[in-house]
Structure 1
Amino acid sequence: MEILHSYIQGSGPDLIILHGFLGMADNWKTLGNAYESKGFRVHLVDQRNHGKSFHHPEFTYKNMVEDLWSYMDYQGISSTKIIGHSMGGKTAMWAACSQPERIQQLLVADIGPKSYPSHHVHILEAMKSLALTPPSSRQEAGQLLEKKGLASGIVQFLLKNLERKSDQSLGWKLNLPVLYQSMESIGTALDPDMSYPGPTLFLRGSKSTYILDADLPQILGHFPKARIDEIPEAGHWLHAENPQDFLTKSLGFLTQIV
Structure 2
Amino acid sequence: MNILVFIKQVPDTNEVKIDPVTKTLIREGVPSIINPDDKNALEEAIRIKEEYGAKVIVITMGPPQAETALREALAMGADEAYLLTDRVFAGADTYATAKTLSKMAKKFDYDIIFCGRQAIDGDTAQVGPQLAEQLNIPQVTYVKEVKIEGDTLIVKRALEDGYEVIKVKMPVLLTAIKELNTPRYPSIKGIFEAYREKEVKIVTAADLGVDPQEVGLKGSPTKVISTTTPETQRAGEIFTGNVKECVQNLVQRLVEKHVI
TM-score by length of 2: 0.34
Tell which structure's C-alpha radius of gyration is larger.
Answer: 2
Q: Which has the higher helix share?
A: 1
Q: Which has the higher strand share?
A: 2
